[in-house]
Structure 1
């Protein structure tokens, strides 16, 4: 009996030990893993130019940095850099805060003293000797803020405008980071405490900075295989400023493919996308429509570049991490109930309604008149409203609901129009960049026409030219007409021209001007999709997604003289689009 008890106690101890080990191992593995995507023209990944410090200028007998009054700058700007070898530094005590010395009696003894001769001694020899703490800085410690000591090959100092913007891009320095890994390291160094919240992998679907000389595989800080070949501005990375290069529709397809593959891998508990402040409002909506993911998608931007006083990007990133790791976005099954959000200035915006109103912190506004702000990051993430719109894994136009091919518009040798299947996904199931729909926006205004109020479309030469260009280049295309609020009504010639576009088989969306603060009535008898309360820019994004999902309309063989049957066929196809615009 005693043996049995001892055996039982031993078993319990072993079981307890195993559970404890499992708990510790499990605990170390519970930290969420986030995918961090670098998007184009991203101020949040841009930095103030590296400027040669006065310390270096004095050593090299170069002109000093001065104020606007011509006075020498009193302090050097510091940049995070890495030291190459250990160095001992003596830090003067009571200089970390102005009131440290007010309570000297609470502090332990110094490591020694530095006299007027700048030598360190263990004991004080003179009342003027300064108490110091001895610190050994090591390369493995990470980044330290230090003066910038580099000069150009010609011996001149680097200034904010040196070889920028007057020289060719190949002779200038980039200010945009190639991915966000360095930014996260700097945030952690500055006290962000983000490494304790999650693990991070970095991806470059459409970055703002690029490796023009390429990069060896072993030097990569992003997720990817093999060497990075030499990258080209405007093809592989996209900046603004004097060397501006805008991203295109084809690059959007490539970026969408990467985000979808990463998020469907099941390796990530959420993602953060970083992009330029004017364009992120549309990318966030697009990804929220296309990416079939049950994890949250967060989008961050910045109004001020890194290195400026009150730069806002780092806090937005920290808030995005807090939001994902908090789990407030999840339903009882752990599935995202809000889809994609943009987090700026401690506000959680629905990606459908967010819009940049001004280039300042707090400059984002909501559109659509109702909702848009769904929570706050103040004192921890809190949701106050849940959007009813379909998104991500619920979206009717998400990645996995897009078919391999859809009907597009083709022109016969005789000039008649018909539908022909257009492949929109390749053999790997990825979006084909060249098949991305061409959707253009046209804005109507009163007091515009020169005629007597005729509805003849002939005066709308830009719309007519776009129809013809689409017929020759883009089998998948569409139009957005922005009219008066809240009706979306346009002047008669524009209505007639856009109706002609619909008869050619191109989907046409009507949207209200401005922030669309009202709901547009749906008219089943016309040839237009009514945008509900979406803006023209957001509507364009959704229309592109719808064309990838449903294709174009069946065109009239003679768009100038459609038959009743042809009109009915177009209206029937419009119902598919209209339902999506009512629910997304």
Structure 2
């Protein structure tokens, strides 16, 4: 079966492409003789946050049998024998030698397996632990929490997001995705060699500047939103991608307060019969109960399903915003609250076109009556190449193209 071809389009200030701060673990603090992160009672926190990282070399681990769920052992007779046993001295044996031996599975973890959740061991250059993106509270020297393109976000989803059937690869199992950076939330401040690029493009990435090449809202005191001319760049970039003939659809990600506006803009300006699904999130990727991964996977499901097709080679739904399993018409969606479920249909005349069920089945119940995308009277290919404007010149008002 041929996989879908999807273009991911990275938009600005996107919580859906952000992560919680990388905080130095207690394992690292203990190793350096530093005080631990404490819990509410003042004692050292019981657990470290585990962050997705890559192994540098293979490692063999032993996992205790029946530790994945508290009721596995209740039906022990249904399970095959373990790989072996760990004795009280920590040694592994294929045979049980004592009643105190722990049954275990022997697993070799390899770098090529992909990301693994591990304690974060990094320290600042001056030997202090990381607590936030900045090196000190309200400082101007900072790391970035936003991704420079969607590749890491999609990899995290494929690796760690578990579907209703208990399996992963929820995106990569169905689609090949190319990553584009029309106005990304993270950037390469020192540039990036072409060989290391994960996005689609040619040549080295030059050094990038916050507020000029990428746009992030955190650290909050350094926040930068895109100026209006960036919308022209986004429009031209997205039109070129949608007209390339390479893709079955596109997914646009952006900050949750602005995604509704860009979606409507695409609905008016982008001349395409392909689906554009727009996603946002109220919580960063990896934070408790984060909503972004499910929204992105639902967009893949929507594009794959073909329920947007009109039967004549066109798109009957136009641009949509997909949030919390609902398909919103781009013209009728608004964020009203900063929480999952905080989007509503506006205008009093519907606006929710369909949904994805809790088992991942998509349905389309309504379609917009308004013109959109390829049928829009103001899409980019129908706009005049030049317009006449008026300005106040030296001799008074004058017209110019």
Q: Does TM, scored on the shorter chain, surpass 0.5?
A: yes
**Could you say which residue in structure 1 is the equivalent of 2:267?**
288
Matches within 5 A, 1:18-33: 27=1, 30-33=2-5
1:116 aligns with 2:95: no
Find the aligned partners of 1:105 and 1:334 in 2 and give their Cα distance.
55
Matches within 5 A, 1:122-271: 122-160=94-132, 162-163=134-135, 165-168=137-140, 171-190=141-160, 191-240=168-217, 241-271=220-250
Change (3 A) 1:149 1:412: closer
Deviations 1:39-60 (A, max 9, x none): 0000000100111111111111
Find the aligned partners of 2:199 and 2:130 in 1 and give their Cα distance.
29
Deviations 1:233-282 (A, max 9, x none): 00000011222011011111111111111110111100000000001110
Q: Which has the higher contact order (CA 8 A, sep 6+)?
A: 2
**Could you say which residue in structure 2 is the equivalent of 1:386?**
367
How far is the alpha carbon of 1:69 from its aligned partner?
2.2
**Could you say which residue in structure 2 is the equivalent of 1:330?**
309
Find the aligned partners of 2:272 and 2:263 in 1 and give their Cα distance.
14
**Could you say which residue in structure 1 is the equivalent of 2:381?**
400
SS in 2 for 1:352: helix
How far is the alpha carbon of 1:180 from its aligned partner?
0.6
2:124·2:135 contact (CA, 8 Å) conserved in 1?
no
**Could you say which residue in structure 2 is the equivalent of 1:533?**
none
Change (3 A) 1:328 1:144: same
Choose from 323, 339, 346 the match for 2:318: 339
SS in 1 for 2:30: helix
How far is the alpha carbon of 1:162 from its aligned partner?
5.0
Deviations 1:279-302 (A, max 9, x none): 111011111111111100100000
Find the aligned partners of 2:392 and 2:231 in 1 and give their Cα distance.
27
Matches within 5 A, 1:474-513: none
SS in 2 for 1:401: coil
Backbone CA RMSD of aligned residues: 1.2
Deviations 1:318-343 (A, max 9, x none): 00000000000001123211110000
Choose from 348, 351, 355 the match for 2:327: 348
Deviations 1:511-534 (A, max 9, x none): xxxxxxxxxxxxxxxxxxxxxxxx
Find the aligned partners of 1:412 and 1:203 in 2 and give their Cα distance.
41
Matches within 5 A, 1:358-397: 358-378=337-357, 379=359, 380-397=361-378
276-285 or 332-341, which deviates more = 332-341
Consecutive unaligned residues of structure 1, counting only runs of 5 or more, are 1-26, 422-584
1:192·1:318 contact (CA, 8 Å) conserved in 2?
no
Find the aligned partners of 1:58 and 1:204 in 2 and give their Cα distance.
40
TM-score by length of 2: 0.95
Consecutive unaligned residues of structure 2, counting only runs of 5 or more, are 161-167
Find the aligned partners of 2:81 and 2:171 in 1 and give their Cα distance.
33
How far is the alpha carbon of 1:374 from its aligned partner?
0.9
Find the aligned partners of 1:195 and 1:89 in 2 and give their Cα distance.
27
1:165·1:242 contact (CA, 8 Å) conserved in 2?
no
How far is the alpha carbon of 1:419 from its aligned partner?
4.0
SS in 2 for 1:207: coil
Question: Which protein is richer in helix relative to its size?
Answer: 1
Find the aligned partners of 1:420 and 1:306 in 2 and give their Cα distance.
48
SS in 2 for 1:359: coil
SS in 2 for 1:259: helix
Find the aligned partners of 1:306 and 1:173 in 2 and give their Cα distance.
17
**Could you say which residue in structure 2 is the equivalent of 1:15?**
none
Find the aligned partners of 1:368 and 1:320 in 2 and give their Cα distance.
24
Deviations 1:361-380 (A, max 9, x none): 01111221212111111141
TM-score by length of 1: 0.66
Find the aligned partners of 2:371 and 2:273 in 1 and give their Cα distance.
12
Deviations 1:384-438 (A, max 9, x none): 11101111111111111111101212234343x45432xxxxxxxxxxxxxxxxx
Find the aligned partners of 1:313 and 1:192 in 2 and give their Cα distance.
16
